[in-house]
């Protein structure tokens, strides 16, 4: 026992040394005064009279890893925080608290319910509106926003994405993130098919070459996140709907069944790689090495899908967002609308991202100053949309600016003009539950049980959701 306690003592000593060594290297992590978290901000000193303005972003300005998945957003904060603090010197001092992307909404709801500290500004968008509304988390910004000069310049559809069930405006949309299809051009010598029937023909040909026609987020991971991506794009393209406009789910409709039937054919015929169902964004790998010819996903996906190897062997190996943009510029990758049955417009999902102000925010005026800055300063607006936003600007003037005339954005705009994008959840206010139920049912019939009756399974999920209304 004596030997053990000696060892343990040595171990503890070691631990203390480690912590002691770490401390001087990290003066920034130990705020001198506990009441002044601004001290954690070593990047720019705060003038004494400046008030704190706290944000929750999923990005971390202190993560300088150039290979991090979220480097684009991280860099945005690192570059912009000092600029903002300078522009608002003496008035506002921006403090960002990085949050985990899949937990920040939950944390905010818990914080509001418990009366804990909330940020002045929450980076979020249409995805959270119903959840936040139900939990009374967000301030209605209608009155303030509609009085601002930039309000009239905004895309009405984007505003709709931020509108709650009661008609209030619960977030300020800055970027729209539509979904479209990334395509390896060489895999479709006759061009990307227009209809599901044509697509199946091409898929069979590709299968014969040992390739897959399409990869997509097919798993039920992240509580059915896949529904919001390719599955909804398919349903929307078949003219389907998931809600009736009154908050009820309408999963079992002839259009939806046809769309699901199409997905089932793709999966059961072996046109989709198995990795599409592995979760954790593994499905991207099949597109990276061009073993899958098409990849319906969000426009912002270009950021994560790299490095790339084209069918002709060209390698795009910078390992960052430029790979996809380079491949598009070189003509190896093209953007395309999804397939749609004869006489229908291709559909796609769209999310709006922007800012919300939580109930109980200490300095909502700081948040408003920041939003106003982003919406008024053209360069800032473009920058936000290009980097954290990862989509199209909601302001028409920004849309026309040179930043959005690159080959990538021009092609994307062209593609989107041929599609009709809308949000998947429509009027449903229990989005997370709806997503999990619908994706569970669809996964079951397309992957697990190819003989199950599609309508029956969809109806069961629909009934379960509507029982909660």
Of 378-417, binders to other proteins (CB under 8 A) are none
- Please list, in sequence order, all residues whose beta carbon lies within 8 angstroms of the beta carbon of residue 441, skipping any fewer than 6 positions away: 251, 457, 458, 460, 461
Contact 203, 292 (CB under 8 A): no
Q: Which of residues 194-233 bind other proteins (CB under 8 A)?
A: 219-223
When binding is defined by CB under 8 A, the residue of 89, 377, 444, 452 that contacts other proteins is: 444
Q: How far is CA 315 from CA 134, 187, 280, 318, 325, in A?
A: 48, 16, 24, 9, 13
Over the window 357 to 376, marking each residue x when it contacts other proteins by CB under 8 A and - when it does not, the resulting string is --------------------
For the bound state, the minimum distance from the C-beta of residue 361 to other proteins, rounded and expressed in Å, comes to 15
Indicate the residue among 10 and 400 with the shorter CB distance to other proteins: 10
The DSSP output letter for 449 is -
**Structure tokens that stand for 175 in this block:** 């970027």
Q: Which of 129, 171, 260, 275 binds other proteins (CB under 8 A)?
A: 275
**Nearest in space to 328 (alpha carbons), one of 274, 270, 407, 388:** 407
Q: Pick the piece of the chain touching other proteins (CB under 8 A) from 1-9, 82-90, 151-159, 417-425.
A: 1-9
d(CA 207, CA 267): 12
DSSP classification of residue 89 = T
**With binding defined as CB under 8 A, does residue 62 bind other proteins?**
yes
Going by C-alpha positions, the residue among 132, 114, 85, 117 that lies closest to residue 361 is 117
Shortest gap between Cβ of 442 and other proteins (angstroms)?
A: 10
Instruction: Report 287-326 residues binding other proteins (CB under 8 A).
Output: 304, 319
Instruction: Decide: is 38 part of the binding site for other proteins (CB under 8 A).
Output: no
Give the DSSP letter of residue 386: I
* CB nearer other proteins, residue 12 or residue 379: 12
131 touching other proteins, by CB under 8 A: yes
Stretch that binds other proteins, among 35-43, 155-163, 230-238, 397-405 (CB under 8 A): 35-43
What is the DSSP annotation of 137-153?
-B---HHHHHTSGGGGG
Q: Nearer to other proteins by C-beta: 55 or 336?
A: 55
Q: Is the Cβ of residue 16 or residue 400 nearer to other proteins in the bound state?
A: 16
N- to C-terminal Cα separation, the chain: 64
Token pair for residue 231? 């599955």
Q: Compare residues 67 and 152 and give the one whose CB is closer to other proteins.
A: 67
Nearer to other proteins, 70 or 351 (CB): 70
Residue 46 in tokens: 């705060």
Closest contact distance (angstroms) between CB of 360 and other proteins is 11
Q: Which two tokens stand for residue 245?
A: 């406009």
């Amino acid at each position: 026992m004596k030997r053990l306690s000696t060892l343990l003592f040595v171990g503890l000593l070691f631990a203390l040394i480690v912590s002691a060594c770490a401390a001087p290297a990290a003066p920034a992590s130990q705020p001198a005064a506990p009441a002044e978290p601004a001290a954690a901000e070593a990047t720019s000193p705060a003038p004494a009279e400046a008030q704190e303005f706290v944000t929750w972003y999923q990005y971390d300005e202190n993560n300088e890893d150039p290979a991090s998945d979220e480097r684009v957003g991280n860099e945005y904060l690192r570059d912009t925080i000092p600029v903002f603090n300078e522009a608002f010197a003496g008035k506002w001092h921006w403090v960002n608290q990085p949050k985990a992307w899949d937990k920040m909404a939950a944390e905010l709801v818990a914080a509001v319910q418990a009366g804990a500290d909330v940020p002045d500004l929450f980076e979020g968008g249409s995805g959270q509106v119903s959840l936040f509304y139900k939990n009374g988390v967000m301030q209605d910004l209608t009155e303030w926003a509609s009085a601002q000069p930039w309000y009239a310049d905004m895309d009405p559809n984007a505003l709709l994405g931020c509108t709650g069930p009661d008609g209030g405006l619960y977030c300020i949309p800055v970027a729209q993130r539509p979904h479209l299809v990334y395509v390896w051009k060489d895999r479709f010598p006759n061009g990307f098919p227009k209809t599901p029937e044509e697509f199946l023909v091409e898929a069979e040909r590709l299968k014969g070459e040992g390739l897959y026609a399409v990869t997509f987020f097919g798993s039920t991971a992240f509580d059915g996140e896949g529904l919001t991506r390719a599955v909804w794009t398919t349903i929307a393209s078949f003219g389907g709907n998931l809600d009736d406009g009154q908050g009820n789910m309408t999963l079992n409709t002839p259009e939806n069944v046809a769309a699901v039937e199409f997905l089932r054919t793709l999966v059961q015929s072996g046109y989709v790689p198995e990795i599409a169902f592995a979760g954790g964004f593994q499905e991207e790998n099949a597109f990276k090495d061009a073993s899958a010819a098409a990849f319906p996903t969000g426009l912002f996906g270009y950021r994560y899908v790299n490095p790339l190897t084209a069918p002709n062997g060209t390698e795009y190996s910078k390992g960052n967002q430029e790979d996809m943009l380079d491949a598009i510029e070189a003509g190896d990758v093209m953007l395309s609308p999804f397939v749609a049955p004869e006489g229908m417009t291709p559909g796609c999902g769209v999310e709006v991202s922007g800012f919300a102000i939580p109930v109980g925010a200490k300095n909502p005026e700081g948040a408003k100053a920041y939003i106003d800055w982003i919406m008024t300063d053209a360069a800032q607006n473009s920058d936000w949309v290009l980097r954290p936003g990862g989509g199209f600007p909601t302001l028409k003037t920004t849309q026309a600016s040179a930043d959005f005339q690159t080959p990538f954005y021009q092609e994307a705009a062209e593609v989107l003009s041929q599609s009709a994008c809308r949000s998947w959840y429509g009027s449903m206010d229990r989005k997370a539950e709806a997503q999990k139920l619908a994706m569970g049912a669809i996964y079951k019939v397309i992957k697990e049980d190819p003989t199950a009756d599609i309508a029956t399974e969809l109806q069961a999920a629909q009934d379960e959701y509507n029982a909660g209304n």
